[in-house]
A = this chain, B = another copy of it.
């Protein structure tokens, strides 16, 4: 068995892979890939997949759950277009490559952007302090930064509508959805296969953009009115996301997985901190529980270390080119045994 520390897509429980595999050859007598998205069988899958998001995150009344396409990259644009208000101006906390791209798309949507804070000065290795201006339509942030390995430890306290790209830590810990006007997330970390993008939108947002002529697909109201079936959805991705959500709910839900994720992170960060061969690359207080970035204190040991983890059946440990070193991504489905295997490798260097 391989220990998959890859940054995604998309480690999922083995039980989910098995059931998904079976459905590709037989889902009520057809392949899940060849059933109509308008068939009662799939309509039920879509309904469950939306409902199970609400269950898993205790989504309060007054929110709509949608599965669209295009990833967070299209979400940057969709969020800005749909949340545009009377100021046509938005605040962005810039904590890395994804925030930077989100800012670019808000500008492409025609909004003025205030960069409320940025950690670009130190290669995005920390979460910056910030004050939120009042004359903005919304505040946008990236809850977890896969590349640099930082994560917000609390939800920004603000009176303006809050928008969050939660692609890489949604379902990894409990969150208070009521604080958000919009949450969006590419599925391919803790939810399901690449190809679906989750939106959790406050109903009061729908249809209230100040922009004229939002293209149909980019208008969240389009999809809300059609129960997330305005056009052919990414059938298989939604089906597998639902399998994964059912598995999560049957195993203690987000509360239980949060405890496990905290244990996994503690195990690895403790080893990095006490092992003189390694050092973390981010501010300690802002360390991500999902993506652990670290490097060798002595680069001459690289070959030996790389051989050790390769021999231990560990995959996906290479750091992103903009940070260097190593990155251990520890999404929900990564077992603690895999973290123990990695810690043993670190100890053995």
Chain A residues within CB distance 8 Å of chain B: 2, 4, 6-12, 17-18, 20-22, 24-25, 29-31, 33-37, 39, 69-74, 77, 101, 104-105, 107-110, 186, 188, 193-196, 213-218, 230-237, 240, 315-316
Q: Are A6 and B36 in contact (CB under 8 A)?
A: yes
Contact residue among B2, B20, B33, B69 (Cβ-Cβ distance under 8 Å from A70): B69
Contact across chains for B12 and A29 when beta carbons are under 8 A apart: no
Instruction: List residues of chain B with CB within 8 A of the CB of A193.
Output: 33, 235-236
Give the residues in chain B near A217, CB-CB below 8 Å.
70, 73-74, 77, 105
A240 cross-chain contacts in B, Cβ below 8 A = 33
Q: List 18 A-B contacts (CB under 8 A).
A: A2-B30, A9-B34, A9-B235, A11-B34, A20-B33, A21-B22, A21-B25, A69-B195, A70-B74, A70-B217, A77-B215, A77-B216, A108-B216, A109-B215, A193-B235, A195-B237, A234-B234, A236-B237
| Whole-angstrom distance between the Cβ of A330 and the nearest chain B Cβ | 14
Having A194-B235, A195-B237, one finds 17 other A-B pairs with CB under 8 Å, namely A2-B30, A6-B36, A17-B31, A18-B25, A20-B33, A37-B194, A70-B74, A70-B217, A71-B232, A77-B218, A107-B213, A108-B214, A109-B215, A186-B232, A194-B234, A195-B234, A195-B236
Question: How far in angstroms is the closest Cβ of chain B from A226?
Answer: 11
Would A234 and B237 count as touching, CB distance under 8 A? yes
Chain B positions within 8 Å of A109 at CB level: 215
A34 touches B105 (CB 8 A): no
Interface centre among A8, A69, A109, by most chain B C-beta atoms within 10 angstroms, is A69
Query: Given contacts A69-B195, A232-B194, are A8 and B36 in contact (CB under 8 A)?
Result: yes
Residue of B nearest to A104 (CB): B216
A232–B29 Cα gap in the complex (Å)?
31
Question: How near does chain B come to A242, taking the closest CB pair, in angstroms?
Answer: 14
Q: Residue A315 contacts which of B12, B30, B33 (CB distance < 8 angstroms)? A: B30
